[in-house]
Amino acid sequence: MRNQKGFTLIELIIVIVVLGILAVTAAPQFFNFSGDARESAVKGLKGNIQGAYQTVYAKAAVDGDFSTAIGDVTIANGYPTADADGIVEAASLGAEGEDWEWFEDTSTTPATIYIGPAGFIAESSPAEAADYTDIDGSGNGCYVSYQQTDSADTPPTVAIDVSGCGN
C-alpha cells in the first residue's frame, strides 16, 4: 500500500482562506496606533495645562499679586490668560506648529483657547472656534480647551474632545 504524506491541494487552500479571513478581521486592531497616540497626547496635555495653571496660581498667591504677570506668563485673577502669553507659556508648549497648534477665541467671555496636535488640525488660523474644533466637518474634534476665569475664587475650565483624534 502506498504511504501518503503531506496535505492535499484542497486542504492547503482551505487553510490559506481561513488565515486570510483572520488577517482581515484582526489587522485593523493593530493599524490605529497614531489615533491612540494623538488621543493620549491630548489627555496628557490636559494634565499639563491643569498643573501649569495651578503652579502659576500658587506663585501669584505667594507673591500676593493676582493681576499682572508671573515671569513671562500673563495672568488674570491669578491664573494664566487664555492666549499664547498666558497658558501656552505657562505649560511650556513651545512655538506654534512644532508639537501643538492653537486658536485663541476672544469672542467668548471669558476668552477661550483651543490647543490641538500640530499637523492634525488646520495649519492656518480658522475664522472662528467652530472651524477649529471641527476641522474636517465631521462634528468631531481633537483638542484641549482652556477657558480663562473671571474670578480668583474659580479655577479656569479645562476640557478635552478626543472624538476626532483618529479612533
3-state secondary structure of 26: helix
The string of pLDDT tens digits covering residues 45-97 is 999 999 999 999 999 999 888 888 888 999 999 999 999 999 999 999 988 77
The gap between the terminal CA atoms of the chain, to the nearest Å, is 60
59 touches 70 (CB < 8 A): yes
> What count of Cα atoms within 13 Å lies in the side-chain half-sphere of residue 44?
10
Residue-level pLDDT at 128: 53
Q: Which residues pair with 104 in a beta bridge?
A: 113
Residue-level pLDDT at 85: 92
Tell me which of 128 and 87 has the higher pLDDT: 87
What is the value of pTM for the model shown? 0.74
- Residues with Cβ within 8 Å of 100's Cβ and at least 6 positions away in sequence, in order, are 45, 88, 93, 94, 115, 116, 117, 118
147 touches 156 (CB < 8 A): yes
What percent of the chain clears pLDDT 70, i.e. is strictly above it?
84
List the domain boundaries for the chain: 32-161
Q: Phi and psi at residue 40, in whole multiples of 5°?
A: -65, -40
Residue-level pLDDT at 123: 45
For residue 148, give the C-alpha cell: 480663562
Residue-level pLDDT at 124: 47
